[in-house]
C-alpha cells in the first residue's frame, strides 16, 4: 500500500532526506493539506513524510501503474487517480516558486 498512517511504513534511513514543502489535495471532498515535509529519493523510489500523519511511498517499479509522476521546474508531483495528488516543493514553500 502506498499511503501508510501512524508511522508504519518506510523507515527514515539510507538515502539523504531533504526538507521540503508539500501540498496534498484529495479527489474527494476533503480540505487541502499543506506544510513542511521530508522527502527522500533513491534509484527512482520516493518516500515522503508529511507531519506525523502521512507517509507516502512511490516505488519506481509502480510508476505509470499505480501512480503518475510529473517532474516540473517548481517541484515534483505524484498522483494516484481517484485518490490524491501530492506536490513537493524543494524550496520549502509553494509561494517561493
Residue pLDDT, tens place only, 59-77:
999 999 999 999 998 899 9
Provide the pLDDT confidence category of residue 90 given band limits of 50, 70 and 90: confident
pLDDT surpasses 90 at 47: yes
Q: What 3-state DSSP class applies to 9? A: coil
Cell numbers for 72, please give them: 516540473
- Picking from 21, 68, 73, 29, the residue whose alpha carbon sits closest to that of residue 49 is 21
Report the pLDDT averaged over residues 17-38.
93
What is the distance between the alpha carbons of residues 38 and 51, in angstroms, rounded to a whole number? 8
Nearest alpha-carbon partner for 88 in 9, 15, 74, 57: 74
Average pLDDT over residues 29-57: 92
Give pLDDT, residue 9.
46
Q: Nearest 10 degrees: CA dihedral of 14, 60, 51, 13?
A: -10
User: Is the per-residue pLDDT at 93 higher than 70?
Assistant: no
Amino acid at each position: 500500500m502506498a499511503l501508510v498512517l501512524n508511522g508504519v511504513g518506510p523507515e527514515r534511513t539510507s538515502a539523504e532526506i531533504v526538507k521540503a514543502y508539500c501540498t496534498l489535495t484529495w479527489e474527494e471532498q476533503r480540505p487541502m493539506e499543506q506544510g513542511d515535509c521530508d522527502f527522500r529519493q533513491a534509484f527512482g523510489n520516493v518516500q515522503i513524510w508529511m507531519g506525523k500523519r502521512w507517509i507516502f511511498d512511490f516505488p519506481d517499479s509502480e510508476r505509470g501503474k499505480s501512480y503518475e509522476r510529473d517532474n516540473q521546474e517548481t517541484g515534483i508531483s505524484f498522483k494516484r487517480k481517484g485518490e490524491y495528488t501530492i506536490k513537493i516543493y524543494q524550496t520549502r514553500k509553494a509561494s517561493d516558486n
